[in-house]
């Protein structure tokens, strides 16, 4: 059974960098799925942030591309998100996820609320 678990600070100051990690269990990251991050501001809809393959190939939402870095650590079976220069508009529940690229997001973490505030 594939499980994903996000970890990282729940509070980030404006202009700083948001950093989250997603630990994957029950499946090897190197086995073939794509992995990524989706966020959801309170009371709003879902927004794809970006995705990565175990080879390191990345795809980013154009609206966030200049501020986003997604990386993978196959030795630890985890992947990470960095979002720089955050503002209050980046306050959201951040989900890590995995699935078949372009087809479907099959697996989701439980989500972690990140609040941007001084």
Partner 1 sequence: EIVLTQSPGTLSLSPGERATLSCRASQSVSSSYLAWYQQKPGQAPRLLIYGASSRATGIPDRFSGSGSGTDFTLTISRLEPEDFAVYYCQQTWYTFGQGTKLEIK
- Please answer whether residues 91 and 114 qualify as being in contact, where contact means their C-beta atoms are separated by less than 8 angstroms: yes
Which of 8, 47, 54, 67: binder of partner 1 (CB under 8 A)? 47
For partner 1 (CB under 8 A), the number of binding residues is 22
Distance CA 72, CA 98 (A): 13
Closer to partner 1 by CB, 1 or 118: give it. Answer: 1
| Per CB under 8 A, 53 contacts partner 1 | no
List own/partner pairs for 102-107 with CB under 8 A and 24 or more apart: 105/36, 105/38, 106/2, 106/33, 107/2, 107/3, 107/4, 107/33
Q: Of 75, 89, 103, 117, which lies in the binding site for partner 1, with binding defined by CB under 8 A?
A: 103
Nearer to partner 1, 16 or 111 (CB): 111
Residue whose CB is less far from partner 1, 31 or 75: 31
Residues lying near partner 1 in the complex (CB under 8 A)? 34, 36, 45-48, 51, 59, 61, 95, 99-106, 108-111
């Amino acid at each position: 059974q594939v499980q994903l678990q996000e970890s990282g600070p729940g509070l980030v100051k404006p202009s700083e960098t948001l950093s989250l990690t997603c630990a994957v269990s029950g499946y090897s990251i190197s086995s073939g799925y794509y992995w990524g991050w989706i966020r959801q501001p309170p009371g709003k809809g879902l927004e794809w942030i970006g995705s990565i393959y175990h080879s390191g190939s990345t795809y980013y939402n154009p609206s966030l591309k200049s501020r986003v870095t997604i990386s993978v650590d196959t030795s630890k079976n985890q992947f990470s998100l960095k979002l720089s220069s955050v503002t209050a508009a980046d306050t959201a529940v951040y989900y890590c996820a995995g699935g078949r690229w372009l087809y479907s997001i099959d697996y989701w973490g439980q989500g972690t609320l990140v609040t941007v505030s001084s």
